[in-house]
Each structure stands twice: as structure tokens, then as C-alpha cells.
Structure 1
Amino acid sequence: MKNYHISRHNSFYTVGLSYLKADAELRGKFSLNEQAEKAILKQAKEVGIDGLLITATCNRTELHGFAQHPFQLIKLLCDYSSGSVEEFQEVGYVYKNYEAIDHLFRVGTGLDSQILGDFEIISQIKKGFARSKKGGLANPFLERLCNTILQASKRIKNETELSSGATSVAFASVQYIMQEVPDISEKNILLFGTGKIGRNTCENLLKHTKNSDITLINRTRDKAQKIGGKFNLLVKDYGELQTEIRQADVLVVATGSQSPTVSKALLHLKKPLLILDLSIPKNVADDVTDLPGVSLVHLDHLSQRTDETLERRKQDIPQAEKIIEEVRRDFIQWLETRKFAPVIKALKKKLKAMKEEEINFQSKKLSHFNSEQADIITDGIIQKITKQFANHLKDTEVDAEDSLELIQRIFQLEVESP
């Protein structure tokens, strides 16, 4: 499909980076916490960006919005993260207009996830949109796009097996623990951090390891208490982290900190310890592996592990893509209608004014003039003319912007905003 500007003076861009080219360390530099996201939206509003959506997960950080040039969005990302423009140029990507729409569809439906069929991203899109709306940056285009992607995601979940088997980062980590740690049901497991990945891991651990000896620690105890109460787990204070690590056979770290929370100095071990770091940025310092008996695995390694479930899911990709194409087509049709409707409406109004003027003139001039018949005939002609223009504008080979401008100029139309 030929690209044309979705907005007259701005284009719709996606700028971002993901696990495909950026490793965990680099993704960590561009990661955004809630505070940074709010600051970006505030700044975007101030510099006149019309519509902006932020999607930030452990696998990707992306800004989707309207700008005159993508650098406006890249600068916002770099200004409010610790990544530089030079680093972005090495691993980042920029999509424009229809490419950006297509990319967001693939992301939101789990086809571009680090683990195929992982639908965690859809909740991030919903949260991101709610934040944009609150910040006054959710225009009708973004609202419709997010709702349409949500619709595609639901259909793929219901009509395909793409998300079967509950495979996610949380599930992959539990699979790894079960394969690497003998007699896991009798081992001490310590979970540090109660974010979404931490909660999901906790649930998967209980379900698959048959081990109820799981201890929970979080910087804020009441958050850990909520999860602990839900799953009937032991909750300890943050101050007891060092002692609890010494007792643990497996340590799962899933905190939202911007810097490492587990360092070599914290570990005084009396037995081997397997550490899984499910955080972006990394929350476990690399030098912990200097200590004897310590094994460290990051979520990037876990995500590379493929199993039968993932292989089976690949068979459903064509069906998922077919659903995306159907839903996407409806969105594009809405977009085109929204774009062309004001001009077609103004054209119809202009032609009707010409008709009224001509009928009025002819009725005075001709003695047996039948105004009713003239009305029916001219209305039919107006309908055919406006339909012809609408079909022309929908033609993908046509430069719609130039055509819209030409129609407005020829008929001297006064077009209302959509």
C-alpha cells in the first residue's frame, strides 16, 4: 500500500529497540520506569506532539506517535533514559505510517514477542494508552488503533493455539529450574521482587514444582504480603535478604530497580546457588559468578530456550496473520473514511448548493418545469459524482493528499475538521 501522511503535517512513527538487536544491558539503558514515562508524555505535550503511546517491557522500549520527524521521538526517549542517540542508531528502528501500524499489530498480538505467543504486551499497551489519555495525548487515531489491536489479540487467543501452554518468561524460568535443579520440591526457593513477572513466576513455581517452601521478599513488605497471602507463602523483611539468600538453593530476582540489587558482597553462601535474573535492567551483578557454586541465568537466555510448545505454536502463525489482516483492513478503512469524509461531505454540500441554484433558475425560466423530477435526477447525479471521487481517493495507487487538495481547490470547499 502506498504510504501517505496519516496527519497532514505529521507522520505516525514508531521508534524503539527490542531483544532482536539489543542485548539486556543495552535494553536496560533505554528502559523507562513509570516516572520517566510520565515525564516523556508531559514533555511531548509541551513540544506539540499530537498523540503518543509508550510501550515499555523487559523485551522492548517503544514510542509510537505523531511527529514532523522521528528524531523528535528518539530525542524524547534518549532524554529520559540513560541511552544515547549514538547507541540508538546502532540498535534502534524507525517505522513510519503503515509500517508503524503493522509493527504495533505484530507486537500487540504476540507475533513479535521474545517468546512467541506471549501476550503480556497487550496489558502494557492498555496501561500505556490509559497513561496517554490521562496526559492528554490519546487522540482518536491512537484510541481506535489500540482498541483494534486488542480485538485482534482476543481473536488470536480464542481462534488459534498461539498462546496455548502458558509459555512466558515466567514459565520458561520454571522449566529451567525444574530441569537444572534435582529434587526441586525439597529445595528452598527465594523470590525477590513482586512485580508482574515475579507474581507469574511465583504462580508457575507453585503449580509445577509442587514446592510450597517458597519465601517472598520485597522492598515494600505490604506488596509481598498481598502475594504471600494469596498463595499462602512465607514473607520476610527486606533486611533479611542476605540471611535468606544463604538458606536458598534457588534465587529468583524480579525487581524493578534501575541498578543491581544483588551483588557479590551480598552473597555469603554455604551451598550452591542458582540465580535467575528476570529483570530489565539487570538486577544481579555479573561478578556474582566469581563466587564458587553460583550459577547465574538471565531472562535473555531463558527466552532462547525453545520447546515443543513453541514449535507447535509456530504452526498457528499463518492463521494469526490472517486474523491480523482482517482486523487491520477494518482499521485502515476507518482511517480512510475518517480522512476523506470531511472533503466528500463538503463536496456534496457544494454540489447541492449548485443544484438548488440551478433548479431555482430553471423553474423561473421554463413554464412547464417539473422541480420534483429535476430534484430526483440531480440528487442521483450528485450521489454518483461523490461516489466516484470517494473511490478515486481510496485507490492505493493515488496520492490521496494531492487529490484531496485538488478537489478542495477546484470546488473552493470549506472543509470541517474530522
Structure 2
Amino acid sequence: MALPLYLVGLSHKTAPVGVRERAALDPAAGLPAALAALGKAVVLSTCNRTEVYGVGSPHRARALLLGRGVAPRHLYVKEGVEALRHLFRVAAGLDSLVVGEAQILGQVREALFLARKHGATESLLEKAFQSAVALGKRARSETGIGAGAVSVAYAALDLALAVFGDLSGLVVAVLGAGEMAELFLSHLRGEGVARVLVVNRTEERARALAARFGGEAYGLSALPRVLRQADVVVASAAAPHYLVGPEDLPRRVKPLFLIDLALPRNIDPRVARLPYAYLYNLDDLERVVEKNRRAREGEIPKVEALIEKALADYLEWYAGHRVREAIRALRISLLREVARELPQADPGFWHKEAGRRAHPWILALKARARDFLEGPPCPQECPLLAFRPPGL
């Protein structure tokens, strides 16, 4: 019987940013309802992907994403070992927009944490995600896949440098004070910008981030004033609606360069129609990171070798897991059988006799653990399978 894991999802490789916005699940609102509908599942929802991992049939997960306005052509469905391999590739950074970026590893860990919080995990998913996190750490410590500053935020800086050539003397505004904003500002160090303006709904968080990078802090109410001063705007705020529209950008002499890293987007796409505004979003970063992919190609085979080793380790664990479950079911079945045959006997004798009868079957189960993993679930083919509980 094959590994009963499944994956249903979409990513920057299969869907444009508008579709990914519809699929994204907010941890506070959309995620709890989705997990309640799915049963046992882990949902990985980031700016570049929404993926549902579960055990059994993928039909509910597929229906959930289709119900959020995602077209079938944007979805991929993987089952068994291929679902697990995909998760491992994601955690190792091989499936990221920026190959080898570190942020995804924290997001995989957070997805497992949220699933646990809502009581949505079970043993196979727990082991799969724990193994993925461990693999992601190994990939970055044992290969060069994560060498250097690589992330979507770094790609945004690369894009700004490609446009301006030199950021010296420019005013950079950052909308949002979360992890993405912090990453961008850490990469911006040393570029010689004149001023850094941090805008956030919670001004206290803006002050904390601005203090770390020698910037100025503003509340959201000051955004129009900040936009008038900025040469570069990098938006990564968590907001359910656009924060910047064409009406917020009055005509100006100097061009304004905007990068929207948020999902849902912070900047109305109509801003791109303004003759003095140049707007880029997550999809546009694909071209910027192509050079990064080429530079890291030499490290990918090393990471893929680690992935195959992690897959083998997981399947070995799973074979043992199935055998243990089968042994438990076998012992219960034989104990009931002995109790029916010898109702007057002492319960201690029942357990001893059941153990004696189970012994040869247990030896056979252990000897055939590998075959048991992929073998057909047919009692005629293998009588041991008759003792499996449903779903084992």
C-alpha cells in the first residue's frame, strides 16, 4: 500500500499573483475554517504559494481551493512519495521564487505549529513536516544553496539597483514593519540611501524597526506625506485592501519606483498607469531572480541528494509505523479469538496464548516490512494485511 499523503496547491509557478491572493488563507480567519473543513491537514500559505497537505483523499482540499476562485489549471495534485518529495523541495528552498531563500523554512515550521494549534495534525503529517524542517536546516548548513543574502526582499533590492544603478542619496519608504520589511532593510544597509521612512498601522512597531536601521517612523495616517517624499517604496504590510491607489500619488517631477511584496497586494495595480510611477509586484521578481538560479545550479544536485536520503529515512520510519500498527491490530484480534475459544480460561492465559500465536506472524511482518510498504492491500496476496486496521 502506497504512502497515503497528498498535496493540493498552487504557487508562483502555476498561478499569477491575483489568483494567489484569492487562495491565500489568513491565519486568524481563513485558516481555522479551512482546517475545520479539511479535518487532518497542514496548510502552507505564503505570498508565493498555498498548499494543503493531508492524509487520504485530496478531494476536500481541491474543493476548498476551487471554492476560493482558483481555476483547475492553476492547481497541482501530488500523492504518496511525490507529495512528500515536493514538501522536502519546498523546505529546502528548491521550489522558491528565489532558490535557497531561508524564509520558507520558518513558514513550513509555522504551518505545522498552526495545524497543531487547531488539532489538525496526525502522526504521518507530524513526521513529514518535522523531517522537512530538519532537511531544510541540513540543506543550508551542508551545501551552498543558502549562501549569501537571498530572499524575495533581496530580489527587491536587486530590482531597485537594476533601475537606479546607485541608491545613494535616495529616500526609501517601507510600508509595513514585519519580517519582509526587516529583511529588505537589512539588505539595504550599506547602499548609502539618504533617508529610510518606515510606515506602519501600529506606529510603535514602526518606531522599533526604524530605530534598528536609523530610519524615521510614521503611522499609516502619514502615508500620503511619506509618498510625496519617497523615491522608492517597498510595500509588505498585512492589509485586506489596497493602501496605495492612484489618488494617493499626485503628479510629480521625479519618477517613483514601487515594489509590492505583499499578498494581498498593498498597491492598486492601476498605479502602473501613471506616467511617473513604475510598479513591480511579486510576479515581476521572477526575472530578477533568474541570475540567482543560474548561480545556484551547482548546489541543487547536492540538495537533491539530501532530499532522497530524507525520503528513504521517512519511508523506513513509515514501514516500521505500519508494522507496529499491524502488530497491535494482530494482537487484539488474536486475544479476542482466544477469549472466544477458551471463555473459561484465566485472562493471563489468554494473553500468553495470543502472544504465542502472534509470534510467527510478527516475525513475518518484520521480515517483509519493505514489501509491506508498497505491496497491494489484498488479503489473498498477503494474509497479514487482514489484520490491518482501516486506513493502515
Which TM-score band applies after superposition, normalised by the shorter structure?
A: 0.7 to 0.9
Query: How far 1:191 sits from its partner (Å)?
Result: 0.8
For residues 234-249 of structure 1, the aligned pairs below 5 Å read 234-249=216-231
For residues 5-404 of structure 1, the aligned pairs below 5 Å read 6=4, 12-34=5-27, 35-44=29-38, 49=39, 51-67=40-56, 69-79=57-67, 83-84=68-69, 87-205=70-188, 207-211=189-193, 213-270=195-252, 271-306=254-289, 309-344=292-327, 386-395=362-371, 398-400=375-377, 402=379
Note the alpha carbon deviations across 1:329-352, whole angstroms, 9 max, x for none: 11111111111123246658969x
CA contact (8 A) 2:171 2:194 kept: no
CA contact (8 A) 1:393 1:403 kept: no
Secondary structure of 2:259's counterpart equals strand
CA contact (8 A) 1:342 1:416 kept: no
- For normalisation by structure 1, the TM-score amounts to 0.81
Q: Percent identity?
A: 26
Note the alpha carbon deviations across 1:107-148, whole angstroms, 9 max, x for none: 111111111111311211111111111111121221111111
Distance in 2 separating the partners of 1:403 and 1:212: 77
Distance in 2 separating the partners of 1:124 and 1:216: 24
- For normalisation by structure 2, the TM-score amounts to 0.86
- AA in 1 matched with 2:80: N
Distance in 1 separating the partners of 2:271 and 2:236: 17
Note the alpha carbon deviations across 1:387-414, whole angstroms, 9 max, x for none: 44433342266215647972264xxx69
CA contact (8 A) 2:206 2:219 kept: no
Map of 2:348 onto structure 1: none
CA contact (8 A) 1:4 1:400 kept: no
Query: How far 1:167 sits from its partner (Å)?
Result: 1.5
Secondary structure of 2:168's counterpart equals helix
Note the alpha carbon deviations across 1:74-116, whole angstroms, 9 max, x for none: 233355xxx32xx331211111222211111111111111111
Larger radius of gyration: 1
Distance in 1 separating the partners of 2:263 and 2:62: 20
Distance in 2 separating the partners of 1:261 and 1:144: 40
Note the alpha carbon deviations across 1:280-334, whole angstroms, 9 max, x for none: 2322122212222211111221232246543221111111011111122111111
Query: How far 1:259 sits from its partner (Å)?
Result: 2.7
Note the alpha carbon deviations across 1:247-289, whole angstroms, 9 max, x for none: 1111111122233221100101422111111112322122212
Over aligned residue pairs, what C-alpha RMSD do you find? 2.9
CA contact (8 A) 1:174 1:208 kept: no
Map of 2:351 onto structure 1: none
- AA in 1 matched with 2:366: A
- AA in 2 matched with 1:40: A
Query: How far 1:42 sits from its partner (Å)?
Result: 3.0
Which residue of 372, 375, 384 corresponds with 1:407? 384
CA contact (8 A) 1:252 1:277 kept: yes
Query: How far 1:23 sits from its partner (Å)?
Result: 0.8
Distance in 1 separating the partners of 2:260 and 2:197: 16
